[in-house]
Chain A
Amino acid sequence: MIARDHATPTISEGHTRRSALLIAALALVGALIFTSLVLLSSNVPPLAAYNLIFLGTFSTPTRISDMVMLASPLLLCSCGLTLTFAAGLYNLGIEGQMALGAVAAMIPLRLLPNLPPPLLWVLAFACGAAGGAMWALLVAGLRIRLQVNEIFAGLGLNFLASGIALYLVLGPWRRIGRASSSGTEPLPTDVWLPTFGTLRVAPAAPVIALIILVLIWFAVTRTRWGLELRAVGLNPQAAGRMGIPATRRLAESLAACGALAGIAGAIQVLAVFHQLIPSISSGIGLLALLVVLLIQANPAWVLPIAAAFAIFTTGSLQMSVALGADSSIAGVLQGALVLFALLARGLSGRR
């Protein structure tokens, strides 16, 4: 419950901006010290490692385009989680919602391969959104009707979703002639989302993500619906007394989050992997959880933090080649940032 308080947005608290900056600085310094200790303990020179993590992404256009293709679904998931966090929900089921979105996006691609690609893309995105939303509504139903905590409902459904994806990859949608857990038959190249020259970046993905980011920012900060979500998240009983349909808002925020995660899943299928693979969500949903925890669900900060996390992850991919260290160090840095930010906030709240 304490952590839930941290997740509450702080949009109306302009006067605390200076202490917020102080917290951010403290968290950054703490996380860097912690990560450096990890690096030193495995005999990796920290400066060289940080050079890769922070700047490695910008060394070649290919890496930049990889970063953008990671940042796009990450942005979408963070946007969705901003809504559920505002409503006071920990939607840990976002990974499963992404996977189900990817599975649903595959359905029109497999059933109607002869449609013109633009129509197919629209269909795939719509199906992805619907699939993710449906999976999230299962969480909502469990939470509202059966009082199952959304964290456990979400985690359980994550296993189910990855089971469904694996079953489809090995079973009905297996490659012709050989079943391989590496994925389904790749999609024909003409239904891939068009890319920029030979780079892997599909401009449609970041454009969709940015449009949705603006919509979410507007919804949370300017609309009555967003204010109602926050009221429900902060005090459902009082919100109910003021005439806000609290359970309805909970379900809506989950459905919207699931839809955005589903669109992210569709991007993974159409523009990143070009097939369904069992681990289609690639941990992006969990990374988005870190993003939203770090920014306390304030939509104004989604873009910079999601981009920074994408840069760290892409940059550190070269670690094994350049420094003989594992690329998971980006995860250490991201996790440490969130932990130290929560710690600094907790300490400043106690004083």
Chain B
Amino acid sequence: MEVSVHNLTKTFGTLRANDRISLHFAGGQIHGVLGENGAGKSTLMKLLSGFLRPDGGEILLDSTPVALGEPGAALRAGVGMVHQEPLDVPGFSALENLLCAAPRWALPTRIEARNTLIVLAGRLGFSIAPDDPISALTVGQRQQLEIIRLLACGARTLILDEPTTGISAAQARSLFAALRRLAAEGNTVLFVSHKLDEVAAICNTVSVLRAGQVVGEGQVPMPQPQERLLNMMFGGGADHTNPVETPRRGVSTTVPAWQIEGVSARDGNMVLAGLDLTIPAGAVVGLAGLEGSGQQILLRLLCGQLRPSAGRLRLAGVDMAGATSATFRQGGVEYLPADRLVKGLVGPLTLAEHFALLQPGGAIINRHGAEVKARAAITGYNIKATPDSPILALSGGNQQRAMLAMIPDNTRALVCEQPTRGLDVASARAIWGRLMARRDAGCAVVFATADLDEILDYSDYVLVFFAGRVSQMLPRAELSAYRLAELIGGVGFDAVNGRAKANPQ
């Protein structure tokens, strides 16, 4: 199916999110759509899949103009979108989800739905059985189910919005194989991402958006030099040399930030047992591994959200037996969650109100003091906001910088969950600049991410998690990208295995 847009325009208030976009996506190919955060990628995809209505211009499917008022109409016309967060019902099985999310005409009976699911999963190499409960599936598998649903409903154009966020490398590989197969069968695939290597790996063409407009002459065939794509995404002036400042080794001779001796802990059906670790002050430790291999347990142990069931955890030399997360916080541990607006910040409150909340003591709010602090944070951290801006109104990068700005100066240790999730390259680099400055001031930084480049670019030490086992502290300088990928996949893991064993039960 061919998909074209002609002079497509969508405005939100004064913002022209899509400004006279004209593009043509040929059938049987995978088309990359690149752009930094806020470039208008998501808006374009929502227009194509019927979640938004255009203010001007037209959408043509196989050269016929169509009006896609709502997602159902778009799906009937053959366009389906896979969202970043799969939309499904956790209490249902895969089959039940397929049934309740598909219109009656697509899957009239339960038996037909079951057959469709098995056939499509087999054809695409997806590992889903009809009776798997959704709660037991990973994000990657739920995404696979969503693709199966869209195909079962007759989609011949698939839109994937940042599909590799939060899924494992193996799942990404299987997704890419499935997408190639779908394209080979004549379907059109639109692949939205800001990860250049992924786009290079699977796309036949690429279109770059910047500030709501198509950059340059429009669609360009792949492969293209990475340099050129970066230029198109960020404009000519942007600095895009790879930020490999040689990672500094932990030179600090002070007390280690954390000492973990024989610690065991359980979270859900995952158990870490017999963990022995020393995390030095003034170093960045990256937690690598497939999603859900036990990294979460360690992160939660380090900030006191999870109590060890055995063993001893010392924070800066102090035994933390029986301590709550509040005690850890008083001990200088700050936790930066991945879900900024869910666990990190209070969306409707303003920047100044956040600083007021963080003022030590005092029954009456010192409004002036809070505002001064907010202003200092705005200039110091380059946050695009005023002290009276509700946090909700800030972009993801600005929210992340605000969260960093709120970390007290006497912080001894930072626990970050995907510190640059959803941020564009420039914002991510700014965040890491801040984190590195903290490290150089003697703060320990522990972070988990699914992005291998991030691990390699910024870690002093790497801990690899594989199927619930934890490696020793591996100095980054002695680790190649190839070796890291092998370890994450479990190749030669025994040679670096720490004593810890975690067993999924």
* Interface residues, chain A, with chain B CB atoms under 8 Å away: 8, 12-13, 222-225, 227-228, 230-231, 234-235, 237-245
In the complex, the chain A residue whose C-beta lies closest to that of B325 is A240
Residues of B within 8 A of A222 (CB): 364-365
**Cross-chain contact B344 with A12 (CB below 8 angstroms):** no
**Cross-chain contact B346 with A224 (CB below 8 angstroms):** no
Closest CB pairs A-B (n = 10)? A235-B346, A237-B343, A234-B346, A231-B346, A238-B346, A234-B348, A238-B345, A12-B350, A238-B344, A224-B365
Residues of B within 8 A of A240 (CB): 325
A interface: dominant SS: helix
**Cross-chain contact A234 with B347 (CB below 8 angstroms):** yes
Report the number of A-B residue pairs with Cβ-Cβ less than 8 Å. Answer: 65
Provide the bound-state CA to CA distance between A227 and B353, in Å: 8
> Is B274's CB within 8 Å of the partner chain A?
no
Check A245/B326 contact, CB under 8 A, given A12-B353, A224-B356, A227-B357. yes
Residues of B within 8 A of A228 (CB): 357
Residues of A within 8 A of B344 (CB): 238, 241
Provide the bound-state CA to CA distance between A8 and B392, in Å: 14
Provide the bound-state CA to CA distance between A224 and B370, in Å: 12
* Interface residues, chain B, with chain A CB atoms under 8 Å away: 325-326, 329, 335, 337, 341-350, 353-354, 356-359, 362-365, 388, 390, 406
Instruction: Give the contacting residue for B342; candidates A13, A223, A230, A238; CB below 8 A.
Output: A238
Provide the bound-state CA to CA distance between A237 and B406, in Å: 16
CB distance from A14 to the nearest CB of B (A): 8
**Cross-chain contact B358 with A242 (CB below 8 angstroms):** yes
CB distance from A19 to the nearest CB of B (A): 14
* Sampled A-B contacts (22; CB under 8 Å): A12-B349, A12-B353, A222-B364, A223-B365, A224-B356, A224-B359, A224-B363, A224-B364, A228-B357, A230-B346, A230-B349, A234-B346, A235-B347, A237-B342, A238-B341, A239-B346, A239-B357, A240-B325, A241-B337, A241-B343, A243-B326, A245-B326
Residues of A within 8 A of B350 (CB): 12
In the complex, the chain B residue whose C-beta lies closest to that of A237 is B343
**Cross-chain contact A8 with B348 (CB below 8 angstroms):** yes
Provide the bound-state CA to CA distance between A222 and B342, in Å: 26
CB distance from A86 to the nearest CB of B (A): 12
Provide the bound-state CA to CA distance between A223 and B406, in Å: 20
Provide the bound-state CA to CA distance between A13 and B348, in Å: 10
Check A225/B363 contact, CB under 8 A, given A243-B326, A245-B326. yes
Provide the bound-state CA to CA distance between A235 and B392, in Å: 12
**Cross-chain contact B342 with A224 (CB below 8 angstroms):** no
Provide the bound-state CA to CA distance between A223 and B359, in Å: 12
Residues of A within 8 A of B326 (CB): 243, 245
Provide the bound-state CA to CA distance between A237 and B325, in Å: 12
CB distance from A250 to the nearest CB of B (A): 15
**Cross-chain contact B357 with A244 (CB below 8 angstroms):** yes
In the complex, the chain B residue whose C-beta lies closest to that of A234 is B346
**Cross-chain contact A234 with B364 (CB below 8 angstroms):** no
CB distance from A208 to the nearest CB of B (A): 23
**Cross-chain contact B364 with A227 (CB below 8 angstroms):** no
Provide the bound-state CA to CA distance between A228 and B358, in Å: 10
Instruction: Give the contacting residue for A223; candidates B345, B349, B353, B363; CB below 8 A.
Output: B363
In the complex, the chain A residue whose C-beta lies closest to that of B334 is A241
In the complex, the chain B residue whose C-beta lies closest to that of A232 is B346
Provide the bound-state CA to CA distance between A270 and B497, in Å: 75
Provide the bound-state CA to CA distance between A240 and B350, in Å: 17
- 18 more CB-based (< 8 A) A-B contacts, given A241-B337, A245-B326: A12-B349, A222-B364, A222-B365, A223-B363, A224-B356, A224-B357, A227-B357, A230-B349, A231-B346, A231-B357, A235-B345, A235-B346, A238-B341, A238-B343, A238-B344, A238-B346, A242-B354, A244-B357
Provide the bound-state CA to CA distance between A265 and B365, in Å: 33
**Cross-chain contact A242 with B337 (CB below 8 angstroms):** no
In the complex, the chain A residue whose C-beta lies closest to that of B366 is A224
Among A8, A12, A245, find the residue whose CB has the most chain B CB atoms closer than 10 A: A12
CB distance from B415 to the nearest CB of A (A): 11
Provide the bound-state CA to CA distance between A82 and B363, in Å: 19
CB distance from B366 to the nearest CB of A (A): 9
Provide the bound-state CA to CA distance between A243 and B407, in Å: 12
Instruction: Give the contacting residue for B365; candidates A8, A13, A227, A237; CB below 8 A.
Output: A227
Provide the bound-state CA to CA distance between A12 and B386, in Å: 13
In the complex, the chain A residue whose C-beta lies closest to that of B342 is A237
CB distance from B223 to the nearest CB of A (A): 43
CB distance from B95 to the nearest CB of A (A): 28
Residues of A within 8 A of B364 (CB): 222-224
Residues of B within 8 A of A8 (CB): 348
**Cross-chain contact A242 with B390 (CB below 8 angstroms):** no
CB distance from B249 to the nearest CB of A (A): 31
Residues of A within 8 A of B388 (CB): 12
Provide the bound-state CA to CA distance between A228 and B362, in Å: 12
Provide the bound-state CA to CA distance between A241 and B390, in Å: 18
CB distance from A2 to the nearest CB of B (A): 15
In the complex, the chain B residue whose C-beta lies closest to that of A10 is B348
Provide the bound-state CA to CA distance between A241 and B504, in Å: 28
Residues of A within 8 A of B341 (CB): 235, 238
Provide the bound-state CA to CA distance between A63 and B366, in Å: 45
Provide the bound-state CA to CA distance between A228 and B359, in Å: 12
Provide the bound-state CA to CA distance between A234 and B325, in Å: 21
CB distance from A10 to the nearest CB of B (A): 9
Residues of A within 8 A of B354 (CB): 242
CB distance from B350 to the nearest CB of A (A): 5
CB distance from A140 to the nearest CB of B (A): 20
Provide the bound-state CA to CA distance between A231 and B355, in Å: 12
In the complex, the chain B residue whose C-beta lies closest to that of A243 is B329
CB distance from A87 to the nearest CB of B (A): 13
Residues of B within 8 A of A13 (CB): 390
Residues of B within 8 A of A245 (CB): 326
Residues of B within 8 A of A241 (CB): 335, 337, 343-344
Residues of B within 8 A of A224 (CB): 356-357, 359, 362-365
Provide the bound-state CA to CA distance between A239 and B325, in Å: 13
Residues of A within 8 A of B347 (CB): 234-235
CB distance from A78 to the nearest CB of B (A): 22
Provide the bound-state CA to CA distance between A224 and B356, in Å: 8
Residues of B within 8 A of A12 (CB): 349-350, 353, 388, 390
CB distance from B412 to the nearest CB of A (A): 15
Among A8, A234, A241, find the residue whose CB has the most chain B CB atoms closer than 10 A: A241
CB distance from B416 to the nearest CB of A (A): 13
Provide the bound-state CA to CA distance between A231 and B348, in Å: 9
**Cross-chain contact B337 with A227 (CB below 8 angstroms):** no
**Cross-chain contact B349 with A231 (CB below 8 angstroms):** yes
Provide the bound-state CA to CA distance between A222 and B365, in Å: 6
CB distance from A85 to the nearest CB of B (A): 14
Provide the bound-state CA to CA distance between A89 and B326, in Å: 24
Among A8, A13, A225, A242, find the residue whose CB has the most chain B CB atoms closer than 10 A: A242
Residues of A within 8 A of B329 (CB): 243
Provide the bound-state CA to CA distance between A76 and B356, in Å: 28
Residues of A within 8 A of B406 (CB): 242
Provide the bound-state CA to CA distance between A231 and B349, in Å: 7
Residues of B within 8 A of A244 (CB): 357
Check A242/B357 contact, CB under 8 A, given A222-B364, A223-B363, A223-B365. yes
In the complex, the chain A residue whose C-beta lies closest to that of B330 is A243
